[in-house]
Amino acid sequence: MGMVKDIFVGGWSLLAGMWVTIRRIYRPVVTVQYPRRYLEMSPSYRGHIEFKSFPETGTHNCVACGTCMRFCPTNVIKVQGEKIHTHSEKRASLYFIDFSHCSLCGLCVVNCPTQTLQFSDEYDMAHFSRWDGVVDLIRRLEESA
Amino acid sequence: MTNQMLEPITEQTYYLNMGPQHPSTHGVLRLFLKLDGEYIVEADPIIGYGHRGHEKMAESHLYEQFLPNSSRMDYLSGLLFNHGYVAAVEKMAGIEVPPRAEYIRVICAELNRISSHLLWFGTYIMDLGGFTPFLYCFDDRENILDILDHVSGSRLTYSYCRFGGVAKDLDDEFISATRQFIERLRSRWDDYHNLVTKNVIFIHRAKDVGVINRELALRFGCTGPILRGAGVAYDIRKAEPYSVYPELDFEIPTGTAGDALDRYMVRLQEMEQSLRIVEQALDRLPDGPIKAAVPHKVRPPKGDYYFAVESARGALGFYIVSDGTSYPYRLKARVPSYGNLQVLTDVLPGTLVADTISILGSIDIVVPEVDR
Enter the pTM of the model.
Answer: 0.87
Task: Using DSSP, state whether A96 is helix, strand or coil.
Answer: strand
Considering only CB atoms, which chain B residues are within 8 Å of A45?
149, 153
Considering only CB atoms, which chain B residues are within 8 Å of A3?
none
When pLDDT is averaged across residues B247-263 and rounded to a whole number, the result is 87
Q: Smallest CA–CA separation between B79 and chain A, in Å?
A: 13
When pLDDT is averaged across residues B27-34 and rounded to a whole number, the result is 84
pLDDT for residue B25 is more than 70: no
Q: Smallest CA–CA separation between B145 and chain A, in Å?
A: 11
Instruction: Choose the weakest-confidence range: B4-18, B88-102, B308-322.
Output: B4-18
What is the rounded distance in angstroms from the CA atom of residue B78 to the CA atom of residue B242? Answer: 18
Q: Identify the bridge partners of residue A49 per DSSP, sorted by sequence position.
A: A119
104-143 in chain A: CB under 8 A from chain B: 104-107, 110-111, 119
Q: In what order do the strands lie in the sheet with B30-36?
A: B14-18, B30-36, B39-46
Domain annotation for chain A: domains and CATH numbers: 49-144 (3.30.70.3270)
Q: Smallest CA–CA separation between A73 and chain B, in Å?
A: 5
In tens, the pLDDT along A39-90 reads 888 888 888 888 888 888 878 888 888 888 888 888 888 888 888 888 878 8
When pLDDT is averaged across residues B143-164 and rounded to a whole number, the result is 86
When pLDDT is averaged across residues B97-111 and rounded to a whole number, the result is 90
Buried b (16+ CB within 10 A) or exposed e, A24-53: eeeeeeeeeeeeeeeeeebebbbbbbbbbe
Considering only CB atoms, which chain A residues are within 8 Å of B62?
71, 73
Which of B59, B72, B73, B149 is the best substitution to test chain A (most A C-beta atoms within 10 A)? B149
Nearest by CB to A13, from B72, B136, B198: name it. B198
What is the rounded distance in angstroms from the CA atom of residue B167 to the CA atom of residue B162? Answer: 6
The number of C-beta contacts closer than 8 angstroms across A and B is 75
Nearest by CB to B152, from A13, A20, A44: name it. A44
What pLDDT score was predicted for residue B114? 92
Nearest by CB to A105, from B68, B139, B191: name it. B68
- Is B128 in contact with B84 (CB distance < 8 Å)? no
Considering only CB atoms, which chain B residues are within 8 Å of A111?
296
Tell me whether residue A130 is exposed, middle or buried, using C-beta atoms within 10 angstroms of its C-beta: 0 to 12, 13 to 18, 19 or more: exposed
Q: A21 in contact with B at a CB cutoff of 8 Å?
A: yes
Cα-only R_g, chain A: 27
Which of B67, B187, B200, B331 is the best substitution to test chain A (most A C-beta atoms within 10 A)? B200
What pLDDT score was predicted for residue B8? 56
Q: Nearest chain B residue to A42 by CA: give it.
A: B150
Closest CA to B200 of A15, A2, A22, A19: A15
Cross-chain residue pair A14–B136, CB shorter than 8 Å: no
Q: Is the dihedral of CA A101, A107, A110, A113 positive or negative?
A: negative
**Domain segments of chain B as ranges:** 61-371
27-66 in chain A: CB under 8 A from chain B: 30, 42-46
Cross-chain residue pair B157–A103, CB shorter than 8 Å: yes
Q: A19 in contact with B at a CB cutoff of 8 Å?
A: yes
Instruction: Choose the weakest-confidence range: B2-16, B57-71, B116-130, B197-211.
Output: B2-16
Buried b (16+ CB within 10 A) or exposed e, B268-298: bbbbebbbbbbbbbbeebeeeebbeebeeeb
Nearest by CB to A42, from B67, B149, B195: name it. B149
When pLDDT is averaged across residues B155-162 and rounded to a whole number, the result is 85
Indicate the residue type of B83.
Answer: H
Q: A144 in contact with B at a CB cutoff of 8 Å?
A: no
Cross-chain residue pair A73–B66, CB shorter than 8 Å: yes
pLDDT for residue A20 is more than 60: yes
Cross-chain residue pair A13–B199, CB shorter than 8 Å: yes
What pLDDT score was predicted for residue B7? 62
Nearest by CB to A73, from B61, B132, B168: name it. B61
Considering only CB atoms, which chain B residues are within 8 Å of A20?
191, 194-195
What CATH number should be reported for the domain whose range is B61-371? 1.10.645.10
When pLDDT is averaged across residues B227-255 and rounded to a whole number, the result is 87
In tens, the pLDDT along B325-336 reads 889 998 898 888
Considering only CB atoms, which chain B residues are within 8 Å of A24?
136
pLDDT for residue B3 is more than 80: no
In tens, the pLDDT along A86-141 reads 887 888 888 888 888 888 888 888 888 888 888 888 877 788 888 888 888 888 88
